[in-house]
Structure 1
């Protein structure tokens, strides 16, 4: 806009007045001329309608994003629960495996004769 005013002032030295603080002031006719030259249309109702429809669109988008975030949070919570269950199950299996290995190690460390007599003793008690 400043460039356009400077261009117009080169052709017409009296375009706008400078006030005491150095600000250029324009009359209403000069303002209308600038609007015409710069293709600025006065359509406040259309602009307001466009803005309100834009705001409505953004609100809808924001609501959709909130729903998506909520669904993702629920999925994350479920995944954390499943991960915890899988870890617990893995620890239980590891514990069972360790216990079985310990029992096998005890059996393997016994001599053939002690195992034989244990079995024989079991049959005698029955």
Structure 2
């Protein structure tokens, strides 16, 4: 199996081979002779994605982020002198954004906040992390 297109039946029968092929290039999956899905590796998907692609256009966090960015920019000197102690390693302005998320969304613990930022792309965007940035 070396094609860049496969049928859904071929995926069902050879799922591990299809996933192995997807590590090298995207695989188009056809169902009833029409495009149905595309299988890509996580690394290819993350490399091709921008964090802004995951932010809904009317998210309330968009307006809040604009305000927070402005306020953080005007207080940059104060922020650079600020030391925020946390098990989550990040820049002070990112830590402030993360703490705002924690308060706004009633996230109880730092580990829960970490999990939310890891799994929620809008939260990652709000904090200032890229799609594949480690946390």
Calculate the TM-score normalised by the size of structure 2.
0.22
Query: Larger % of helix: which?
Result: 1
Q: Which has the higher contact order (CA 8 A, sep 6+)?
A: 2
